[in-house]
Copies of this chain bind each other. A is one copy, B any other.
Amino acid sequence: MVKVAVLGYGTVGSGVVEVIRTNKEIIKKHTGEDVEVKYVLDLREFEGDPIQEILVHDYDTILKDDEIQVVVEVMGGVEPAHTFVKQALELGKSACTSNKEMVAKHGAELIAIAKEHQCNFFYEASVGGGIPIIRPLLTSLTCDDITEVYGILNGTTNYILTKMNEEGSDFDEVLKEAQDKGYAERNPEADVEGYDACRKIAILSSLICGQQVDYEDVHTEGISKITTHDFAYAKALKASIKLLGVYNKVDGKNYAMVAPMLVSQKSPLYHVNDVFNAIMVHGNMVDDVMFYGRGAGKEATASAVVSDVVECIKNQGSTVPQEWKQEKLTLGDFDSWKHKFLVRVKSEDIDDVNMDAVKAAFGDVMYVRATGIVDEVAFVTKPMTEADFKAAVEGFDNVENTIRLSF
């Protein structure tokens, strides 16, 4: 019998209890053990909910109980989550979490502490919800030079962009609908401005590089400036627009960003719609591999958390190696990263645009026409550095929007 404590009885926490109880026999098949939730820690009371029987308000009760082998942290936020996990690991109790903020900030430290105390720290659910991606990176894609990751890492923004694409609706309109349906928070900034995806691509980049990539260093743009006109041009280019977390290794330098990008119909990511997430990984031997599934939601996220609990139990007494050192990795200078860009320029008449000036600033470009748009001229550049592109755009005072291409 293995006894587990769950810290936080919110959406994911209640899902974790549900998964452990509902799929008891399956978990036993994989671990050889009965697994029981002995405590749930929450500041609140849950009168009338059977969980009340195992509810505790004081974390010390859990720390002091030698029967507790695994602590599941699903409270969210950096503190006190980080301190709680650290204390558990220092006592040799393994810990699992879905908490991307804490993992992005303290993952490397907690991995080191777990190693020191012959236990494990796992965080599968911190990226891609229910999608297996962390463990495949640690145990499957281990003989490949991983040079690219393109991930749809946030369900809310993918839902909004899917609706904008399918229904031709405006961002504000779709955001409101998503909020009414509970797919977007009342304060949607963390999702729509890309902050959530930023933590996730920082975690993936850290794992791939084996060193700490600080999320504060990751260039991050959201989707709030994307309009129906952008989608019209995407369609003309046989593409769609997705908010991507991108990691890229070029000439030995590591780049990472979050930004809305044009994704070609030919890419499997193009077909990842609604609240689904997917992560495309490119290795020098395996080529493209994609992992797809529900990036959020109670049961899917809890499934990933409990799969970590299962691995903690299977590896009780030893530490599964994880190469993520605390030493900070300096990302390549964002200004030197190259992309192709779609540029939309306001213009009543195509003749108003000085094509010579465009050529002088951007080099050879490919002009694009979108159905129904008459007061703009748009073009796609050749690959340019961010710095060169920025300089070129500054010469034009009527640029409506610019979007990077992922192809």
Are A26 and B144 in contact, with the CB atoms below 8 A?
Answer: yes
Copies in the complex: 2
| Size category, A interface | 35 or more
> CB within 8 A of A135: which of B124, B139, B286?
B139
Which positions 26-74 of chain A face chain B at CB distance < 8 Å? Answer: 26-27, 29-30, 32
Q: Kindly identify, within residues 273 to 301 of chain A, every residue whose CB is under 8 Å from any CB belonging to chain B.
A: 278, 283-294, 297, 299-300
- Given A130-B287, A271-B271 in contact, is the A139-B139 Cβ separation under 8 Å? yes
**Quick check: A23 and B285 within 8 Å, CB to CB?**
yes
Which residues on the B side are within 8 Å of A285 (C-beta)?
15, 18-19, 22-23, 130, 299-300, 302-303, 306
Write the residues of chain A forming the contact surface with B, with a CB cutoff of 8 angstroms.
15, 18-20, 22-23, 26-27, 29-30, 32, 124, 130-132, 135-136, 139-145, 210, 268, 270-272, 278, 283-294, 297, 299-300, 302-304, 306-307, 309-311, 314, 321, 323
Query: With contacts A124-B140, A130-B289, A132-B289 known, what are 13 further pairs, Cβ within 8 A?
Result: A20-B143, A22-B285, A23-B144, A32-B321, A135-B135, A142-B311, A143-B309, A143-B310, A268-B272, A271-B271, A286-B293, A286-B303, A287-B299
For the complex of A and B, list the 3 residue pairs with the smallest distance between their C-beta atoms, beginning with the closest: A132-B140, A290-B292, A289-B293
Q: Can you identify 27 A-B contacts, CB atoms within 8 angstroms?
A: A19-B143, A22-B284, A23-B145, A26-B143, A27-B143, A30-B142, A130-B285, A130-B286, A131-B289, A132-B141, A136-B140, A140-B304, A141-B303, A142-B310, A143-B303, A143-B309, A271-B271, A283-B303, A286-B294, A286-B303, A287-B294, A287-B299, A287-B300, A288-B292, A290-B292, A290-B293, A291-B291
